[in-house]
Amino acid sequence: MKIIMLGAPGAGKGTQAQRIAAKWNIPHISTGDIFRANIKNGTELGKKAKSYMDQGLLVPDELTVDLVVDRINQEDCANGYVLDGFPRTIPQAEALDEALKSLNDSLDYAINVEVPDENIINRMSGRRACLSCGATYHIVYNKTKTEGICDKCGSELVLRDDDKPETVQKRLSVYHDQTQPLIDYYTKKGIIKEVDGTLDMEAVFNAIVDILGE
């Protein structure tokens, strides 16, 4: 079962991708993890990616696709995988399709976790992060025992710049410009499946299970 997850930043697709991976015992693959693993292991692809990242540049599509294809060719992906955060653009999607085609392979599902922008802005501006241990909370959905203090290490929590409403709005604009066309792309291919991301986490996961089958 080869799946890609679509959805705006903060739609909860990463959480659902992890749950899919756990239930069907397939790897959850995010491009960030791939970059970090290759850089850490000093692979040729990793060195190339690092040279761009060190300059604050985006890793080119061609190299990103090479890294993803290298990852999905590994043994643990024999029964499938969940791609999270890739592809983000039509050129990436086309390059991935071409690469899979050369392996006589193709994607089975593109699952779009649909959440209105307003909900996402409210959700993300309620997030609080601990910069000491990395734990994250939410002022409504995942409160700490003591307001503003991390349950795990006792440090003060902060609203990260990434989660501020104005930043979230910018990220959503980029998403709609670049990634929204992917929904049309995968709709034409007949593999798109929509789930209502405004439901609680369990209900969203149950909807995905209904799509993928037990």
pLDDT in tens, 9-59: 889 898 899 999 999 999 999 888 888 888 899 999 889 988 888 887 778
Q: Known catalytic residues?
A: 13, 88, 127, 160, 171
SS3 111: strand
Complete DSSP assignment for 143-192: --SSTTB-TTT-PBEE--GGGSHHHHHHHHHHHHHHTHHHHHHHHHTT-E
- In the chain, the domains with their CATH numbers are 2-115+169-212 (3.40.50.300)
* Selection from 56, 10, 49 nearest residue 33 by Cα: 49
Question: Residue 214: what pLDDT?
Answer: 67
| Greater pLDDT, 61 or 194 | 194
**156 or 88, higher pLDDT:** 156
Q: Is the pTM of this model over 0.95?
A: no
What is residue 30's predicted lDDT score, i.e. its pLDDT?
A: 87
